């Protein structure tokens, strides 16, 4: 049996990025935090932290953090069922989500659920191809991800396909593209991409035009809203989620460059296999909203 004060110390050290900040957060001395980590490592028989800057958990440490987070979630549910109302111990649900989902359908899908249950939402935003790592590491109880295969100890539920359209302003198209839309046009015209993690633009050019090896120019804008603003300002062309693009296409502010060439990204809800209502309730809310926004 683990001492949960020790597990909490481990969690806070990792979340705060060091022993000094963890001590301030826990209102105890730094030596007390170090002692708790030392005792936990002695019990496990392995190192739980990589003493880097910031400090991060080892693989064993990540497993313990995941266990601790699951216990916290179950205890929150138990308090609720027993009608033990403690405002100092609110239910915090940590979810990893991709920026495009967050900018379009995700928050409206969950708002009523979180208001009804008075849960607190903590979002971690990352590329949809990487969010499942946050679930695996115990940093989130669930994630919206492109990974279909369920992680160990988790379930995976299909939500739908996010459709992406290649768009630009009419002025940008007139400046950079000929009527034939040649490969040379595409490699010379500046693109707008979300980040170095986001490979959607790479896949689009590779799949439809057989363009590889980064033979194109690009702006990197790691914000879903600013990404779209950059395209609207005529800085470049880019792949925009259909829910974000629709109104701009309807009013003529943007034009779809290749109407017959769209990308479809499957999204899944992965969550821990524990008997906590939070994960099942959240899935039902996400699924109900996704069927109106995402393609089946």
Residue 85 confidence (pLDDT) above 60: no
pLDDT higher than 60, residue 31: yes
- The residues, ordered by sequence, that sit 6+ positions from 41 with a Cβ below 8 Å of its Cβ are 47, 48
pLDDT band at 237 (very low <50, low <70, confident <90, very high): very high
**Both ends of the chain: CA-CA distance in Å?**
45
What pLDDT score was predicted for residue 83? 54
Q: In this prediction, what percent of the chain has a pLDDT beyond 90? A: 43
- Structurally, at CATH architecture level, domain 162-265 sits in 3-Layer(aba) Sandwich (3.40)
Q: Give the tokens for residue 268.
A: 């899944």
The overall average pLDDT reported for the chain is 87
Domain boundaries, the chain: 162-265
**Cα separations in angstroms, 192 against 62, 75, 178, 225:** 35, 45, 19, 12
| pLDDT tens by residue, 162-216 | 999 999 999 999 999 887 778 888 889 999 998 777 889 999 999 999 988 778 8
Pair of tokens at residue 121:
């939402």
Q: Which pLDDT belongs to residue 216?
A: 86
What is the pLDDT averaged over residues 16-34?
A: 89
Confidence of residue 46 (pLDDT cuts 50, 70, 90): confident
The sign of the CA dihedral 124, 127, 133, 135 is positive
Q: What per-residue confidence (pLDDT) applies to 66?
A: 82
What pLDDT, on the 0 to 100 scale, is given for residue 82?
Answer: 57
Q: Which residue has the tokens 């539920």?
A: 157
pLDDT at 261 over 90: yes
With a cut of 80, say whether residue 229 has pLDDT above it: yes
């Amino acid at each position: 049996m683990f001492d949960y004060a020790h597990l909490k110390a481990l969690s806070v050290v990792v979340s705060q990025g060091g022993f000094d900040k963890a001590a301030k957060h826990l209102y105890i001395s730094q030596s007390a935090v170090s002692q708790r980590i030392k005792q936990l490592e002695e019990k496990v028989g392995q190192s739980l932290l990589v003493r880097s800057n910031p400090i991060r958990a080892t693989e064993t440490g990540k497993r313990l953090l995941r266990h601790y987070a699951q216990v916290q979630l179950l205890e929150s549910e138990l308090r609720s069922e027993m009608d033990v109302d403690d405002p100092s111990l609110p239910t915090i649900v940590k979810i990893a989500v991709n920026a495009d989902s967050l900018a379009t359908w995700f928050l409206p899908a969950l708002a009523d659920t979180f208001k009804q249950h008075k849960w607190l939402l903590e979002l971690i935003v990352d590329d949809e191809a990487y969010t499942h790592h946050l679930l695996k590491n115990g940093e989130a109880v669930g994630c919206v991800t492109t990974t279909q295969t369920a992680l160990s100890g988790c379930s995976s539920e299909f939500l739908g396909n996010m459709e992406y359209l290649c768009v630009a302003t009419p002025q940008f198209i007139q400046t950079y593209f000929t009527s034939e839309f040649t490969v040379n046009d595409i490699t010379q015209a500046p693109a707008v991409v979300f980040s170095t993690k986001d490979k959607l633009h790479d896949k689009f050019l590779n799949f439809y035009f057989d363009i590889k090896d980064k033979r194109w120019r690009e702006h990197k804008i790691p914000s879903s809203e600013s990404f779209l603003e950059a395209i609207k300002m005529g800085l470049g062309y880019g792949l925009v989620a259909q829910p974000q693009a629709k109104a701009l296409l309807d009013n003529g502010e943007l034009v779809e460059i290749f109407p017959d060439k769209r990308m479809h990204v499957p999204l899944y809800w992965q969550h821990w296999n524990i008997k906590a209502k939070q994960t099942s309730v959240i899935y039902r809310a996400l699924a109900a909203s996704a069927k109106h926004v995402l393609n089946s």
